[in-house]
Amino acid sequence: MKTKFIFLTLLLGLAVELTWAQIPKVKSVTPDAVKKKEPEVKPVDNDTTELIKKLKALMKDEKGRHKIGTFKIERYVVVFPSCFPIKHQKEMADIRHIVDSLVKRDSFKNETREYDFEFQTPLQCYNAQKGNKIRLKIAEVDSVKVDIKEGTIELLKIYTNDGEIFYNTQAPVPIITMEKRFSDKLRNPKDGCFVLLKDVLSFDADTRFNYFPDDTVFTMRRDSRKSIETFPLSASNDFSSFVNIQAYSDLLGVLGDKANGLVQIEANTKFYLHRGNVFNKFMYLLYAFEPFFHFSKIDSKFDTIALSSPGEINRMEVFRRYTFAVGTDLNFFRFDWRPANSFELKAGYQYSTSNLVFNGKKIDAILHTPYAEAAIKSKRMKNFGTDIRVRFLVQKLNPIDGIDTSSWDHLWAFKASVYYFSGSKNKDKVFLRFLNYVDPGNRKQDFSQLQLGFSKAISF
């Protein structure tokens, strides 16, 4: 019980520290009359000074940034009516060439103008004249707002000098393959008229095999004195931007007499295979995989499973009391919809090991667990949300001398969690998670976990 109390106190203390870290610290001021005499500082030799400088440089470099590429904003855009067909690429290229000439000739500045264009093919458009003539508007770009999430532009807003707004209404725009999406339409919600992505924004990548920038929201304002405005894009390269670390305790194990982990630590990271969407929607297929590591400290009276006969082995208890596990998730499918919800389908594999004693011999019981999972995520606000998951698992033990481990068993897992963070760092959060494991073949083996913990951005 003493050990459980220490673990619970430690967990609560770390959670309080996480919240306290968000509060600005005020330096105390001591009057000169009551100041204590500072201890004499001994001089430091040159070698030590040089070593300290190198260590500081390493710490500074850890919080550095890596340049990904550069956004380029064009000076003006051609505004097309909603019914205008984007099928004739040659005619579209001719339009841009003519517009470039007109802009250069007329030298317009901070204004919007309209020009008549004639096409070879008849246009089924409400403002077409004589079947193949149409009036198009040319507007200067004032600013561009970009919302980047996981390497895609989820929201792209174009503001023109005449007060109009155009944005992507149906699908995100992958940044490092933006050239494949140049024909995307950015629409005006008032009347449905649109501009083409390639006429507004482009991305100049530094390397062919590039990386994703940080998740961020920013506005790029164009300087009217420049024909093309550029904005660099970069990504953080510190440790916390790559690895997510969570520490938590199981309240049923700490406060009750359950064989659940007293202290558990998880670490995971995500590698993206691509960021292309499908069906011109906020849908993604096979876009990432997530390796993970899990360590669990179990109360000493539960951390070893003792067997007196081969028939006593309980696969659910072996799974429940594992000391560490490694594995990976594969993201098969994800669909995002408003206001702030996601549906995900995943498949994964977990390798775990538990302590087993049979015939006086200590054995590492290795359990192989492939699984499939469906999840729904929802956010109430940016810093408060919930995560509900259903997982189907199949399990098989490694061969053990004298014990039959040939069968494949299966179970279900249901998980619900809520999280909150008080500052701007979404990795510094507190969460509460409930899990229920169900064995359809023997419901007496069902068990639950109630986990309270925190996730922390780690830096060295």
- Dihedral pair phi/psi, residue 425, rounded to 5°: -90, 110
Structural domains of the chain ordered from first start: 68-236 (no CATH), 239-456 (2.40.128)
Answer for the pair 162, 141: CB distance below 8 angstroms, yes or no.
no
Decide if 414 contacts 213 (C-beta within 8 A): no
d(CA 160, CA 138): 10
Q: Is the pLDDT of residue 360 over 80?
A: no
Higher-pLDDT residue of 48 and 112 is 112
User: Per-residue pLDDT averaged across 119-148, rounded?
Assistant: 71
Whether this prediction's pTM lies above 0.85 is answered by: no
Res 50 pLDDT > 90: no
- Of residues 145 and 43, more confidence is placed in 145
Give CA–CA dist 273/287, Å, rounded.
5
Task: Write down the pLDDT at residue 386.
Answer: 94
**pLDDT (0 to 100) of residue 238:** 76
The tokens of 287 are what? 């876009």
pLDDT at 305 exceeding the cut of 60: yes
Higher pLDDT, 381 or 21: 381
What pLDDT band is residue 383 in, cutting at 50, 70 and 90?
confident
- DSSP annotation of 110 reads S
Backbone angles phi, psi at 94, to 5 degrees: -65, -40
72-124 pLDDT tens trace:
888 888 888 887 776 655 666 677 777 777 776 666 666 677 777 766 555 55
Task: Please tell me the predicted confidence (pLDDT) of residue 236.
Answer: 81
Using DSSP's 3-state secondary structure scheme, residue 71 falls into: strand
Predicted pLDDT at 390: 98
pLDDT greater at residue 190 or residue 183: 190
295: pLDDT strictly greater than 70: yes
Specify which of 12-26, 172-186, 336-350 reaches the highest per-range mean pLDDT.
336-350
Q: What proportion of the chain, given as a percentage, has pLDDT over 70?
A: 73
Residues 135, 186, 224, 76: is their CA dihedral positive or negative? negative
pLDDT band of 17, cuts 50, 70, 90:
very low
Angle at 69 between CA 68 and CA 72, to 5 degrees: 150
User: For residues 335 and 283, is the Cβ–Cβ distance under 8 A?
Assistant: yes
The pLDDT assigned to 170 comes to 85
Residues 351 and 6: their CA atoms lie apart, in Å, by 30
What is the pLDDT, as a whole number, of residue 294? 93
